[in-house]
Structure 1
């Protein structure tokens, strides 16, 4: 692959897609134009999966300037199905892609809580601000308001707190005691769990969960399972899993091999931490992500996914 022969690969990142060093957008556009005329999906996949997102944005802009056409719209006329969806997603800005996923999670009857939680629990407060801004630009609606309308009770408070999450300094022991006290009543108090788990950094929360286990003899997951119920229990479970390892949580999601999930996670994490997710996937399933993809998908769609995954583990 072109990426593997690049002499100036970006080290120090866990992404699988990195900037292509010999980048010439005009040449890429020329090849893309020819590929579109011939309906040559192989060339389209080769170029779009071997450029990082910033370079794909330049390609799309250059295509517009040269042809006076939108690249995404033109791709739709040539491609179809899962391959079309995947390549169009590669052309989106990362925050637009995740805003779209959140919109789809709330669009139909019955909210997809798992996708809401995936994005809210694995993304930083800064990234969530960017996603919120992209959501407003794309759908002319406030993401927080949409979430409030699609959720209720303690779960609604949790997802809104996650959307606004920010790290605050606090004493580990004090947080542990606050969580223990919240469990002493006839009904567990959700507020301390929301306040603490959405406003501390990961290192702090790992210490809190470890201390909680030492004090109670139960893991965070066991406590959540015992004392809470419904969507709120689901939300806390995902949050606790992500505090321990967001890579492992995302690997579990990928293991379902559902097309929408595979697209969403692989595209959104391809330049950040997909190598880490791949490692956890292998440990979790005993099979590499690269091989798993070959067992579930086919054709040019498979080749595009393999190019994003990059290699066997």
Structure 2
């Protein structure tokens, strides 16, 4: 790993991300070194540079690369690399909003829908950020994200996704919200409407108090309540939303333990500059193994493994 990276820690104290601004950064020098690495198909150098720069710095490198070579950096990576490493480095090159839009599009493209990836993004991003992602989706794919979600899903699950996409923070009474949710569980069929309305339009502190109050009233954990009273996609959606309200980093850590390579990789890229340190801590507490060690125990090899370890950054 580049020793200059460790000096860059002084640049960003307070961040919960693992990838931080690289000190002594010169986009033109990086671009020239990348040009040589692409010619030689030197994957190690590409990994060292692109995982040691923030996304903003990568955008500067791509701009300098275009000015120097008159070629697109992403196209160069596609030509020089293959497989999972190619995919990972191309994902690192995408601007954050474009990347989240891409992840949503990938969750809906082709046969079948990856409902949990849709939930992961919609449940862990703020309303403001989701509107920016929605705008990016429209710009890139020339399609309305709401219409895409509606076309890919149905029923209460669609209502939940659209409410999450347009989430806000409306002031409500804690006792009133507890009573509203409790009332939905009294009939033969539970009504998802109030759950959707309340869980997507209150702040997390308020909602944690509501959920704790409901658990005390029902004498059961919320997950148990949801499993008994709901089924199918809406049950999964409400369970994921509750987990993200209670602890988004624990939810994401659980997702890292159970998902396939593309999803694990995308979570790490998506959160590398925001809160991957929190997710790492939750992963260690959840599994008893650090994420850094777990990556080495999985099927990853060679430069692809080194790239993932560089994003993870260190042992806990």
Same fold (TM over 0.5): yes
Q: For the residues of structure 2 that align with 1:257 and 1:144, how far apart are their CA atoms?
A: 26
User: 2:313 aligned with 1:299, yes or no?
Assistant: no
**Shift >4 Å, 4+ stretches:** none
Q: For the residues of structure 2 that align with 1:108 and 1:170, how far apart are their CA atoms?
A: 40
Partner of residue 130, structure 2: 128
Structure 1, 217-226 or 156-165: larger mean CA deviation? 217-226
User: 2:144 aligned with 1:162, yes or no?
Assistant: no
Partner of residue 223, structure 1: 225
Partner of residue 249, structure 1: 251
Q: For the residues of structure 1 that align with 2:106 and 2:22, how far apart are their CA atoms?
A: 32
Residue 25 of structure 2: which of 23, 26, 42 is its match?
23
**How has the CA–CA distance of structure 1 residues 221 and 257 changed in structure 2, closer, same or farther, with 3 Å as cutoff?**
closer
5 Å-filtered alignment, 1:76-91, equals: 76-91=78-93
Deviation at residue 5 of structure 1 after TM alignment: 2.6
Q: For the residues of structure 2 that align with 1:32 and 1:293, how far apart are their CA atoms?
A: 26
Deviation at residue 256 of structure 1 after TM alignment: 2.3
Where does the alignment leave 5 or more consecutive residues of structure 1 unmatched? none
Deviation at residue 257 of structure 1 after TM alignment: 5.1
Cα RMSD of the aligned pairs, angstroms, is 1.0
Q: For the residues of structure 1 that align with 2:18 and 2:138, how far apart are their CA atoms?
A: 30
Q: For the residues of structure 1 that align with 2:253 and 2:180, how far apart are their CA atoms?
A: 32
Instruction: Give the secondary-structure state (helix, strand or coil) at the position aligned to 1:255.
Output: helix
Partner of residue 315, structure 2: 312
Deviation at residue 67 of structure 1 after TM alignment: 1.1
**How many aligned positions are there?**
313
Give the TM-score normalised by the residue count of structure 2: 0.97
Instruction: Give the secondary-structure state (helix, strand or coil) at the position aligned to 1:165.
Output: coil
Partner of residue 178, structure 1: 180
Where does the alignment leave 5 or more consecutive residues of structure 2 unmatched? none
Q: For the residues of structure 1 that align with 2:83 and 2:176, how far apart are their CA atoms?
A: 53
Q: For the residues of structure 1 that align with 2:198 and 2:259, how far apart are their CA atoms?
A: 33
Partner of residue 208, structure 2: 206
Q: For the residues of structure 1 that align with 2:280 and 2:176, how far apart are their CA atoms?
A: 36
Conserved 8 A contact 2:9-2:20: no
Deviation at residue 7 of structure 1 after TM alignment: 6.1
Give the TM-score normalised by the residue count of structure 1: 0.98
Partner of residue 139, structure 1: 141
Partner of residue 48, structure 1: 50
Conserved 8 A contact 2:7-2:23: no
5 Å-filtered alignment, 1:259-270, equals: 259-270=261-272
Q: For the residues of structure 2 that align with 1:151 and 1:90, how far apart are their CA atoms?
A: 29
Residues 118-138 of structure 1: CA distance to partner in whole angstroms, max 9, x if unpaired?
Answer: 111111111111111111111
